[in-house]
Amino acid sequence: MKLETLSENRSHGGVQGVYSHHSEVIGTEMTFSVYLPPHSEGETLPVLWYLSGLTCTHANVTEKGEFRAACAEHGIAFIAPDTSPRGEDVPDAEEEYDFGKGAGFYVDATEEPWRKHYRMRSYIERELPELVAANFPLEMSRQSITGHSMGGHGALSIGLRNPDHFRSISAFSPIVAPSQVPWGEKALGRYLGDDRSSWREYDAVALIEDGTRHDHILVDQGTADDFLEDQLKTSLLSLACAKAGMEPTIRMQEGYDHSYYFISTFMAEHVAWHAERLKA
């Protein structure tokens, strides 16, 4: 797969790059960012994936996430893909911010007209890892994943489905049970159809209820988040983990909201937490 360099900038001794390629899985051009910390020639780097939230692209965390200093300190590559397919031929719901472009929910859609392009699960789990492994000095046996909001849902569900691929999972303000909240019911119903049993593999709480396990999960959630009670429902994750005998670290951060002011405050702690597990 041909990779096009859109930009590269020196930062904290490493390089922040933005790249594009044609995705066979998605069927469109896709853009993503990669931060490579300073490293020796021939050295390979562990990887932290970051999945963005509703309405976002790779650019939000790349420009506002404040992760580079921590990644440089710990020697971790940071990869941020887009949230959904883009392009004129991609179907969209233009007047709905929480569905369509910018709201791919990291699923492989099965319903028309979404099924051709909305295949973010396969893109994140298979195609993009193969692409970056072929083009960057990465050690793909050492990967972790994090994300925000809709991307927190993606990080939790992808990480839980692939515990052998991801040593640790973290999330900022994640949608922990999309099958039980308006954002998720809307997206999963229209992308996957009315059979709610097919939704469970995209729902962290349901995955845990169905027997999926992971020993290393960290969640930060702001108490002043306007979406907490109706859309995020962090307490459901706590309850599911307790019933399953799992012991995640779930921190309610007093006074923080849903924004990148919140994410950037705790990003370095997440990078350091993942670093401990990536270097073990």
Dihedral, 160, 163, 166, 170 alpha carbons, nearest 10? 30
Confirm if 32 and 80 have CB atoms less than 8 A apart: yes
Q: For this structure, is 74 an active site residue?
A: no
pLDDT in tens, 137-195: 999 999 999 999 999 999 999 999 999 999 999 999 999 999 999 999 999 999 999 99
> What pTM does this model have?
0.97
Per cent of the chain over pLDDT 70 is 100
- List pLDDT tens digits, range 199-229: 999 999 999 999 999 999 999 999 999 999 9
Query: β-strands 169-172, 217-222: how paired?
Result: parallel
Is residue 205 within 8 A of residue 240, CB to CB? The reply is: yes
Q: By the 8 A CB rule, do 52 and 80 touch?
A: yes
Residue 47 pLDDT grade (very low, low, confident, very high; cuts 50, 70, 90): very high
What mean pLDDT is predicted for residues 37-66?
A: 98
Active site residue 259: no
Place of tokens 């307790």: 242
Active site residue 198: no
**What DSSP line would sit under 229-276, residue for residue?**
IIII-HHHHHHHHHHHT---EEEEETT--SSHHHHHHHHHHHHHHHHH
- Out of 3.40.50.300, 3.40.640.10, 3.40.50.2300, 3.40.50.1820, select the CATH number for domain 3-279: 3.40.50.1820
Among candidate residues 117, 148, 214, 258, the one labeled active-site is: 258
Domain map of the chain by residue range? 3-279
Catalytic residue among 149, 157, 173, 179: 149
Q: What is the pLDDT of residues 106-126, one digit of tens each?
A: 999 999 999 999 999 999 999
The pLDDT of residue 76 is 98
Catalytic residue among 144, 225, 270, 274: 225
Report helix, strand or coil for 92: coil
